[in-house]
């Protein structure tokens, strides 16, 4: 069989799978976004948003940042 025709046949049969995967991941994204914005998750999301700004370790001590000298 002609390789070009075989490639076109393969693309046509695999195309539906790509479409289903796209729809699945889109619905998953929408579901996660809705879950993240639910009022019941607000406190948890606010805590997670503050993590990069937190300077204390779990035992209450502060991190000491050293200024780096010449390397």
Question: Residue 40: its pLDDT value, please?
Answer: 93
Question: Residue 66: its pLDDT value, please?
Answer: 64
Domain boundaries, the chain: 20-45
Averaged in consecutive runs of 10 residues, what is the pLDDT profile of the chain (71 residues)? 83 82 96 93 89 75 61 51
Q: What are the pLDDT digits (tens) for 23-32?
A: 999 999 999 9
Question: Residue 62: its pLDDT value, please?
Answer: 64
**CA-to-CA separations, 34 to 11, 31, 42, in angstroms, rounded:** 34, 5, 12
Question: Residue 63: its pLDDT value, please?
Answer: 61
């Amino acid at each position: 069989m002609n390789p070009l025709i075989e490639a076109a046949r393969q693309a046509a049969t695999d195309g539906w799978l790509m479409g289903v995967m796209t729809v699945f991941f889109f619905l998953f994204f929408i579901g996660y976004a809705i879950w993240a914005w639910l009022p019941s998750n607000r406190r948890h999301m606010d805590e997670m948003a503050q993590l990069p700004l937190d300077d204390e370790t779990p035992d209450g001590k502060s991190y000491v940042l050293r200024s780096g000298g010449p390397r």
